[in-house]
A and B are shown apart, each in its own frame.
Chain A
Amino acid sequence: MTLSADSNRDIPDIAAAGSPRQTGAKVRRASPVTTARIVSALTILALLLAWLVSAHFKLVSPVFLPSPQTVLWKFYSVATTGFVDATLWQHLTASLFRVFAALLFALVVAIPAGIAIGISAVGRGIFDPVIEFLRPIPPLAYLPLIIIWFGIGEPSKILVIAIAMLAPIAISTASGVKGASQDRINAARALGATRFQVILHVILPSALPSILTGLRIALGAGWSTLVAAELVAATRGLGFMIQSAAQFLVTDVVIMGIFVIAIVAFILEIGIRRLERVLVPWSGKE
């Protein structure tokens, strides 16, 4: 499930296999993982270099593509003096608060819904249509409705993000629940477990790896929705910061904001993988 070293082990190293350099002599090749990492690093360097060069020779107007130094400097200046009345830290914490409040809400609603879908026909009958209805709708489409219903305050923003997170968590939970081993369920029943105990002690732990996958997808969806959620009546937040900057054509802040979101998302991704290793060490080992 995780993109660890093991999953790459079987992939042949195409680049090395196709190179004509080895003739008889034994060449000790780097593992495919190391190769991929080196190539990734080179790709990033190349892109950065292309950006530096095009900015340096003004191939693109600095209004549209500011230099990396300028963006880096913006990072510092927004972090210290701020942009649109808030520092980078305040924008970041405002956004993080919204995403995590939404995640909490989504987990509380979607995990029980997913369990209901997974274990009972009635549950499936109730929640499946709702989830399938919500799933394909873009957040920008229901944002106006949420504002009409719940106003322009913080709850609306959190709700918009949470709705985007419901479907991935519920669907992953349901699939994890359905995948719970019948033998294990029977074993628990034969040891005297009630229906509730079976759900709590067997089905829920069985579904945990799948729930964590859903949580991961949900966080991705949450970040995508963040900018939409901060469209209306926000005074802080990364999405708000980017949009304000765009309106004034402060491109360096826009790019800086994009990088901040990317870095935070990356850190969260690593955090979830750690969490998987701690919470579901058995996953993939049976």
Chain B
Amino acid sequence: MAHLVLDHISVHYGNQAQPAVTQASLSVNSGDFVVLVGRSGCGKTTLLNAAAGLIAPNSGSVTVDGKQIKAPGADRAVVFQNDALFPWLNARENIGFALKLRGVAAKERDAAADRLLALVKLEGFGSKAIWELSGGMRQRVGLARALAAEPDFLLMDEPLGALDALTRERMQTLLLDIWAANNIGVLMVTHGIDEALLLATRIVVLAPGPGRVVRQIDAGFGRRYASGETVRSIKADPAFNQARAELEDSIFEGEAA
């Protein structure tokens, strides 16, 4: 059981008048699926990058199990919106990258990569070059590459933002399947209200000017999927619509305040 805690962090980029994020707090535990929502420019990506250790907050602290985070680490693997795969490596080699960094032998790496290719439903695509894959496939390779590091936390910055609607839905259930099968904590940024509701165990609502956390809402639809209910039946539940209305309200309220 691992705990990732962002405690009252503020991030101020040098070239900007007001801070990107001010006094934001949130926590992610193993088994949590925390989703950050809010308008562009409210600091979602900044918070995620701070959790990853890619940027250092000006004040406040980021800790994992009480230990201060100073740099990125394989315990917090990141999936980026534009996959950020390495085009000089094929799909299998991309997935095995984290293991290569640790000095794992090529044979073991490939075996692990092939297991993960199967997990993200890309069997047989291991030898493909990155530019031969579609956007959805690339994003799945990116996900598999992050999972190969066997992270405690999976940090995802709008991982499905660039995908078409149908691919997106399939990826959402894939994310839920992987999250439910592994005891990892997920922190994800999204623009999609429905996506947030469907996936999250907790939704963190942010507001801009300066970026701050305005509300945290518990949600349980992802768990319902994990225990066997279909996405269609979840979305048909009036409770889903009601939750969406509440979430939208809290986003607008946050902005008005």
Contacts and interface: CB of A to CB of B under 8 A. Distances in A.
A181 B149 contact: no
Q: Is the interface of A mostly helix, strand, loop or mixed?
A: helix
Contact of A190 (B72, B88, B102): B72
B239 to A, nearest CB: 36
Nearest to B88: A205
Interface stretch (B11-19, B79-87, B210-218): B79-87
Interface string A13-45: 000000000000000000000000000000000
A86 interface: no
B97 interface: yes
A189 interface: yes
Contact of A201 (B54, B73, B87, B101): B101
B77 interface: yes
A202 interface: yes
Interface string B92-114: 00000110111000000000000
A282 B76 CA distance: 29
Nearest to B148: A191
Interface residues of A, number: 22
A280 interface: yes
Interface residues on B, range: 20 to 34
Interface in A149-193: 181, 183-184, 186-193
A10 interface: no
Interface string B54-84: 1000000000000000011110111010101
B145 interface: yes
Interface string A180-223: 01011011111111100100011001001000000000000000
B153 to A, nearest CB: 10
B134 to A, nearest CB: 13
A186 B149 contact: no
A190 B76 contact: yes
A128 to B, nearest CB: 24
Contacts of A187: 78, 80, 84-85, 145
Contact of B52 (A190, A202, A208): A190
13 contacts: A188-B101, A189-B54, A190-B52, A190-B53, A190-B76, A190-B77, A191-B74, A192-B149, A201-B100, A208-B88, A282-B129, A286-B130, A286-B131
Interface of B: 52-54, 71-74, 76-78, 80, 82, 84-88, 97-98, 100-102, 129-131, 145-146, 149, 155
